[in-house]
Structure 1
């Protein structure tokens, strides 16, 4: 997106954007300045519509959604141009590789021709010694050129592979910072940022937190091994993804602990969702490949807290943790709601 406002108009947009960012507890970073500058300018109706829906749902603009809107609306042209340039670079590399390969083939063929000619001319002729010396040098030079071209081709191919590898690594790095590799869920870093932002907003939206812990998971790992434990965690993540739709945010909190941040749903509604999760988890059946034994002892405990007015993120987590601990004390495989 191109910005062409004069200084007075730009200053006016900024004066409008900053109070809105304060009102909705938006972190004051360059990305958000650009996003809200664009929002108040009303240049992109699609952005304004999406932002208004987000504010209605969450009472703020969560960091993840803000970054997504920034990429989709504010810098979509630049991202497309960047990807196009990269694709052109890769295409150029492939083109160079093809040309280098062709040149190598031609040079190699030329060397064969000269070698054949040398064999024919090696028979005694009037000025044989001198002519043979000239032809030999030509053959040697041709072989050298062919070798050099082949080496160039190999370097170009290696450069192409490195470009592709770097692109994949960049994509992985962007994901790794926020996503748990094993389960595919967002990680605690994302959870902390989202809950802190929501807790700091002045929204009257109901916010409920569900803390989840797999029962006796250490014992399970000891009995069946970490590979089986990883399978359980992966399945756990899959169930959470399928069950907890937006605006709910399921995350891997750490180890065998998970959490779900729910916007616009009460503790009672969260308990109903947790009961459904508990039943699905209890029904997990994993078979060991070697023995064929079916494992059926996987359960989870749940603690729920509905955020109260002026409560900090830490206090909301602490109450959910206490409810989770109570679920453990009362026999596990159950849902408890904080007082």
Structure 2
């Protein structure tokens, strides 16, 4: 067995894992159960650390967080698949071999030409004819070798195209949230590193987007309707982000938008447009035809240097909402002072 537990041990852990989920107030879905079982088995120190860190900050564990933990620490999607690396190695080896063969073939032809050029200047007719014959044979052989290499290169190109498609799929698994299609925190950290290496002085505006009373909507209408709402709102949020911006799903009912080289006030205007746009959305149940209550957003806006960590950007921008979220919803709060 994967965990080397006896049947009795596995059964005991199963009951404890269910109780652990009850303590976390999380439904016993297969993914949540797998995380709870791993947590109790202590097979992955990184998984336990991530959960304990979340609990230490008094943040509620939810399905979204456990799904992220499941993908990262149980499925191991933070690393490329071994067979993909093997395929890449094979393609690179083939390209190197083909390149070496082409070089050898070219050098052989050049040497043959060098050896016969002097014979072309000879006054001996037989020597000239023989030199021409050698050159013709060399060029024909070179042509055949190049045709073989071209065929091999076409095969390598086909393998490369297939690998490129597979790499795109892997990138989606690693860097995209499967429900909304927005980037995840891993992608956010990667982009911050890229921006930092490109320009350490680069400033980014951050907009945190929180869906008002989403937990109540989830309890009232169920996870299926909630997922539809999340997807629709995520699409609306991303529609206001340019090519240089980065829309991120940072929590179960929360998004974050990073806008490089955008002033805080301009980011505030973008946030207000998003807020108004979502406020105008109307949702109707496809099954019952009942109209769902309007959905509103509360948003915080600030700016940072790209050297700021992803966690700090999320937590500090989130603080703009935490102090007033209990009394004020459907609003945009723009930081008045530079956040450090």
- Which structure is higher in RCO with an 8 Å CA cutoff and minimum separation 6? 1
Rg: which structure is higher?
A: 1
Query: Normalized against structure 1, the TM-score is what?
Result: 0.49
Query: Normalized against structure 2, the TM-score is what?
Result: 0.49
